[in-house]
Every structure is written in C-alpha cells, then in structure tokens.
Chains A and B, each alone.
Chain A
Amino acid sequence: MSKKTTAKSTSKTLSTKSSSAELKKLPKELLIQMHSLMVKSRVLEERLIKIYKAGDAFFWIGGPGEEAFGVPLGLQVKKGQGPEYDYLHLHYRCTPTLIAMGMPMIDSIRLIMNRATDPSTGGRNFSNHYCYPKWNVVPVSSPIEVQYIQALGTAHVQKRHNKKALTIVTGGDAGTAEGDFASCLVWASRKGHELPMLITVQNNFWGISTSYHGQHGETFIADRAKAFNIRSRVINGNDPIESYIAIQEEMDYIRKTGKPSFIEAQLSRLYGHSSASGANLNTQEVDCLKEFEAKLLKAGYLKEKEVQELWQSYEQEGFEAQQLVRSEAGPAAETIWDHVFVNNENADWRKF
C-alpha cells in the first residue's frame, strides 16, 4: 500500500449521460435524496482524510468517488437482522452504502479515530471496516477477496429460508485475481443449488498501483460470470441513475428466481488507494457527484443556494463530530482479552 498512484484512469466509459431525459427515469424526490446522501458520504470521506492528515488517525482508506453506485445500493437493501433480510459482505470502500442505509457520520469518525465508542470494532480496526449486525453488515476485513466466499454461507441459509432475501457482496477489480472470486462463481451457480446473491465488482481500474490492464486479460470482469451461466451486466457506476435501475432490476431478478446475478460497475477512484498513496484528489478521474449535481442544477431540481447549504451542513456535522470524538477515550489496554471467546470466557492461558 505504499506505492503512490500517478497514472490516470484507463476507463473511457465513466462520464454520465448528459440528456435531461435520463433524469425522468426516476422520481425527482429519489434523485434529490440520492444527491443528498452522495454529498453526505463525500463530505464524510473528505473529513476522514482530513482527520488522517491532521494526525488524528493512523490510516485512511475509503470510497470517495464510488457514491453513484454505493448510495443506490444502500437505498435498495432490504434492511434488518437475520436471514429474512439482505446480508452485506462489503469491502473497505463502502461508506456510501452505509450512509444510504442510515449510518451516522460520527460512527465512521469514531472508527477511524479508533475510539472505544467505535460501534463497528471498538477501536480495533481500520477506517471503513464497518460492522452492523442490526443491518446484516458482517465485519469488513482487509484481505481483498475473502468476502466473496463468506457470502456463500449467508446466501445458502437465505435459500433455505426462502423469504426473498439476498446476499450482496462487493469488491474491487483487483481482488478478482484471487481464487476466492472464482470460488464464489463456482459455488453460487451450481445447478439446482444456485444462490440468491448479488455479486458485484466496483471496477475503479486500479489495484493499489497496478492498472487494470496490468492484471486483466478479459474484456470485462462480468464476462467471467457468464461462463458460469450467471446473469451479468456492465454498468457505468459513475451514473447514479443507471446504477439505481440496474441494481433494482438485478435485485428483482434474484428475489424472484433465487439465482445469482452479477454487476460490474465501472467507476472512479478519486483519492487513490488510501493514505498510503497520499489520499490526494485525482482531478483526472470523473467525479460522479459533480456531474450529477450539475445535472440536477441544470434541470432545476436543485438551486445553487440549496446545494451550498447542503454541503455546509454536512461539513458542519463532520467537523463537530470530529471535535466530539477527540474528547472520547480509546479502548482500555486490558480489553485485549475481551471477546476472544464468546461470553468473555477466559482466553488467557496464564489464567487456565
């Protein structure tokens, strides 16, 4: 994670469509809601980067630039706990999805500042490594592939329950080189045992400092799903309208058939891999939020002043959250023995 990214994106399909007719594909209220959540997520991620650069965090990794896919995804999750609701096996660029599901900004700030109050890990793990059992968001881990095979298990249980719930798994394009991605396709598509899974790849065309073409020979990652008879599509993940509709269609298909579906969402990586690569804005990448916002302004769905106030209000929320979290304590040293085993059964061999 130490190599700095300097090359520009190889994607040629990432700009959103300019036609105002596109806006009419979804209700105005939904578009405005999506815009607001995208702004909130972007402001939060930029706040996290500021927190890192101010020395209030050891490391930042996250998903600025992926809002146009992540927010529509989060909005369409059947949200709840247990197999009757959707499970989410996310990777570490999914702040937009969590924001759309209702995560408060301060949760993410407590996570990156590793406070005892961090609701995901209690100060034990990196930024964007979320965990919300109440929403079936299983712990995000740093390995870039393991979520693809753990997702099989929750989908397997959901198939048994047959309540039209599905399992969502996300990952980056670089992680598809790992065997677990292939395992996911194999297990999800076995004849007569197909699993209700929305398998996604957020293709930002980078794996740390390795470009897409440095790793991939296939034309589209989605083509690999086709080989397993999994319905698949490639979408412009920088377009929130296209993303929303595609996710909706695929979720409907999965809930109706119980079979898997695959989405490759091509999108931007706006701030590089992580703080290890500088966490600086890459102005050569398409900014999905700027484009969407301009479209809404042009169509008269939003006014300049409203937009300014929206950004400012989220800026203020993030700033105040950081100030508050600064005053909160980190986890106590003796808590390292907590939760090694369930019910805090003794795990210290010195005390056996």
Chain B
Amino acid sequence: MANMAQAIRMALHYGEENLGVKDIFGEDVGAPLGGAFTATQGLKTAWNSPLDERGIIGMAMGIAMAGERCVAEIQFADYIFNTIDLLKIAGNTHWVSNGQYSMPLVVITPVGAGIRGSVYHSHSFDAWASRLQGWKVVMPSNALDCYGLLLSAIEDPNPILFLQPKALMRSRGEELIPGEPESEKELKAMIDAPIGDRSKWKPKWPKLEKYTVPIGKGKITRQGDQITVVSCGRHLLLCNEVADALKQEGISVEVIDLRSIYPYDWAMIKSSVQKTGRVLFVNEDTEVTNFGEHLAYRVTQELFYQLLARPRVLAGKNVPGIGLHPNLEDATVPQKHEIERDIREILAEVP
C-alpha cells in the first residue's frame, strides 16, 4: 500500500499527465530533493521556487488567472501565515470580479503536530483556513482519500487548500490506489528516488487510474449509535482507535471523517447526531474560535431538542506554540486518552 507521500506524488503525476497541471512548485519541491516529505519526487513539472512564500502564492494566482493549472506548496503551514492577505485575495477574486475571473489553483501544505516539530513545524491551519471565504479546504486521513481528494482539487475551478497531516505522510492505507502495484517494495522501487546521486534517476510510474473523492463529502469510518465523533486528518485515526477500544466494552461510537472542512458534509453530521443524540468534535487546531465550535454551534441550533448531551469540542490548547519536549506537545494537542475521556463524559450525561 502506498503511503500518503507516495499518494500525493502519484496524484500529482496523474494531474500532470491527464488534468493539465503545468507547474508544481515551491521550496525544495523540484529535483534533487523532491519536497521536504518527498511528495514531489520525479514529477516532470516540479520546480524549485525562491524561498519566498508570498512569491509562491502570487505566482500561483497569476498562473491561475492566465487560465492554467498549478499546484503550489508551502513547505510547512507554519510559514503560510505571511500570505494571509494573498489567500484572501485569491478567495475573493471571483466574487469581486462579479464572476469574471476564477482562481483555479491548489495549495498543498503539511499541517499539525506529531513529529516533534516544535514551534514552527507543528501548527495547524484548519481553523484559519475555514475563515478564508471563497476557498475550499480539505484534509485527508489516508492515502486513498489523499489521492482522490487531490485529483478533485486539481479539477475544481476554485482555489483549494489541501492540508496534509504531516504525521501521516509515511502512514500506509488499507486500500490500493487504482493502478498501484500491490507490493509496497515494487512501488518503492518504481517511484521513490534513491538515496545519494539522483541525477540520472527517473521514476517508473504505475498505470494510474482516475479516482476522485468529492469535495464536501465525509465518510463514516466506524458505525455506531451511542455517540458521534467528528474529526479529520491525523486525529481521525486516533478517534477510530478509541472507538475500536470502546467497542470491546460495548460502547458504540460512530466516527465521521470530515475529509472536507469547507464545504462540509452537514447532511452526514446531522443524520448521525439525530441517531446518537451526542457528539464530540476533535481536531488539533487551537480551541478558541476553532472550526469545531462552528459545527457545535450548528448542532446546538438545529438539533437542540434531539440532543441527549451538550456538544463538545476537543481541540488544541490556546497557547502560542507547540513546545518541543513531548510533555509540552502532548499537553497541547489532543491525545487518545482525552478523546476517550470526553466520550465517556458525554455518554455519562443525563438529559
């Protein structure tokens, strides 16, 4: 099975060959490195940009306005903050031009903690991203969804922010990407650049097939009827693990993988919460004005009289950074035991 970095690489290759992608660029994106996480190795349209995040986003916007498709990378989401006003303009260009110019671009960027990345390689961006009107924002939790969401993003005529949970870049999925060889070793030999001199290396791409995950559609990853847990990215996997553990005790947890942060799959959330009457939203961005709060608000407004307990948001602590020492990181972003604790507390509430 491909890992997430390989899935991104294969999706970008498919985009180059079949979806009109002509530029994949960013810091260290081209040869010889092929990306800080190796996600852009061997791609024929990948190139290294100056180390200038505003230049990267500006370049992408210009390419999009000229009608061509590109994928731009910000090496870590922690470095995207100085482009906020450009992201705002990219999101408002279609609106402010009264529909005359569109901005079909994809920005990919690794997010979140989990690799002991300290203050500038651990931050999340999903809550900020949800406030970028005119953008669609997605975050996969596995390699197959990653491939399918990235193809959808490339095809979409709007600006798409593709958030990559960096701690999952080496995680392998449970389902094959269409066209991917079954053997991990075979895939590695085909598309992973060798260690050392890469000057003569070229990838041998598998015969990939089109597979898309619709933007705006979530996925139920665990069926249950006592409580709904909504998450995405790295924490989705933690929620799955907690649900599996609690199942041994006879506690039935339904887990929803949002996959798209905006637009989000309200129909799926609503249907599940109507069934369970209890809901927990989990993500690792900071907790004040967190996107999960919006979802909790909506649940409260629209499903209040069907609730059996107060909706709850479990998110990152509202502190300025994520400290390097494991004690600090683990105390800052939600951990498995906290997810389990919150589920138990919500289930214990008596209406």
Mark contacts of B52-64 with chain A using CB atoms, 8 A cut-off: 1 yes-contact digit, 0 otherwise: 1011011111111
From A151, A154, A341, name the one whose CB has the most chain B CB atoms within 10 angstroms.
A341
**Chain A neighbourhood of B96, CB < 8 A:** 121, 124-125, 129, 131, 139, 141
B95 touches A124 (CB 8 A): yes
Is A340 touching B94 in the complex (CB atoms < 8 A)? yes
Closest approach, in angstroms, between the C-beta of A188 and any C-beta of chain B? Answer: 10
B184-225 to A contact mask, C-beta < 8 Å, 1/0: 000000000000000000000000000000001000000000
The chain A residue with its CB closest to the CB of B104 is A342
**Are A151 and B62 interface neighbours, CB within 8 A?**
yes
Tell me, yes or no, whether A59 is within 8 Å of chain B by CB: no
Given A146-B58, A152-B55, A352-B264: A338 and B99 within 8 A (CB)? yes
A143 in contact with B85 (CB, 8 Å): yes
Closest Cβ–Cβ distance, residue A275 to chain B (whole Å): 20
Complex CA gap A118/B97 in Å reads: 10
Q: Are B102 and A342 in contact (CB under 8 A)?
A: yes
Residue B98 at the chain A interface, CB threshold 8 Å: yes
B86 proximal to A (CB < 8 A): yes
A350 to chain B, nearest CB (A): 9
Give the residue among A149, A152, A190 with the most B Cβ atoms within 10 A.
Answer: A149
Stretch among B65-73, B121-129, B167-175, B245-253 lining the A interface: B65-73
Are A153 and B67 in touch, CB under 8 angstroms?
Answer: no
Asked whether, in the complex, the Cβ of A339 is within 8 Å of the Cβ of B95, the reply is yes
Q: How far is the CA of A156 from the CA of B47 in the complex (A)?
A: 13
A158 at the interface (CB under 8 A from B): yes
Known contacts being A156-B23, A160-B22, is A139 close to B97, with CB within 8 Å? yes
Q: Contacts A150-B65, A352-B263, A352-B266 given: A156-B54 contact, CB under 8 Å?
A: no
A134 (CB) vs chain B CBs: closest residue: B100
A120 in the interface, Cβ–Cβ < 8 Å?
A: yes
Q: Contact between B55 and A149 (Cβ–Cβ < 8 Å)?
A: yes
Q: Considering the chains assembled together, what is the distance between the CA atoms of A138 and B104 in angstroms?
A: 15
Chain A residues whose CB sits within 8 angstroms of the CB of B319 once the complex forms:
none
| Cβ of B274 under 8 Å from chain A | no
Taking a contact as CB atoms closer than 8 A, the residue among A141, A151, A155, A339 that contacts B89 in the complex is A141
State the Cβ distance, A81 to closest chain B Cβ, in Å: 9
In the complex, whether B134 has a CB less than 8 A from a CB of chain A is yes
Bound together, the chains give a CA A120 to CA B59 distance in angstroms of 23
| Minimum CB distance partner of B270 in chain A | A352
Q: Which of A139-171 contact B (CB under 8 A)?
A: 139, 141, 143, 146, 148-158, 160, 167
Question: Which size bracket describes the interface of B in this complex?
Answer: 35 or more
Interface size on A, residues (CB 8 A): 49
Residue A92 interfacial (CB < 8 Å): no
The answer to whether A138 and B89 touch (CB under 8 A), given A152-B59, A342-B102, is no
Q: How far is the CA of A122 from the CA of B100 in the complex (A)?
A: 10
Interface mask (A100-141 → B, CB under 8 Å = 1, otherwise 0): 000000000000000000101110110001010100001101
Given the complex of chains A and B, what is the CA–CA distance between A338 and B134 in angstroms?
11
* Interface assignment of B93: CB less than 8 Å from any CB of chain A: yes
Binary flags per residue of B257-279, CB closer than 8 Å to A gives 1, else 0: 00000011111000000000000
Contact B133 A150 (CB under 8 A): no
In the complex, chain B residues whose CB is within 8 Å of the CB of A131: 96-98, 100-101
Pairwise interchain contact A156-B264, C-beta atoms closer than 8 A: no
Are A153 and B264 interface neighbours, CB within 8 A? no
Closest chain A residue to B105 by CB distance? A153
Chain B proximity of A282: nearest CB distance (Å): 31
Is B75 positioned at the interface, with any CB of A under 8 Å from its CB?
no
Closest to A131 in B: B97
Check: B50 CB closer than 8 A to any chain A CB. Answer: yes
- In Å, the complex CA distance between A146 and B158 comes to 20
Q: Which of A178-186, A238-246, A265-273, A307-315 contacts B (4 or more CB under 8 A)?
A: A178-186
Q: List 9 A-B contacts (CB under 8 A).
A: A83-B67, A83-B68, A146-B85, A157-B62, A157-B66, A186-B50, A187-B52, A339-B95, A349-B266
Given contacts A82-B67, A121-B98, 16 further A-B contacts (CB under 8 A): A87-B66, A118-B98, A146-B85, A148-B58, A149-B54, A155-B62, A157-B62, A187-B55, A187-B59, A338-B98, A340-B95, A340-B134, A341-B94, A341-B134, A343-B157, A344-B99
Chain B residues close to A by CB (< 8 Å): 22-23, 49-50, 52, 54-55, 57-68, 70, 85-86, 89, 93-102, 104, 133-134, 136, 157-158, 216, 263-267, 298
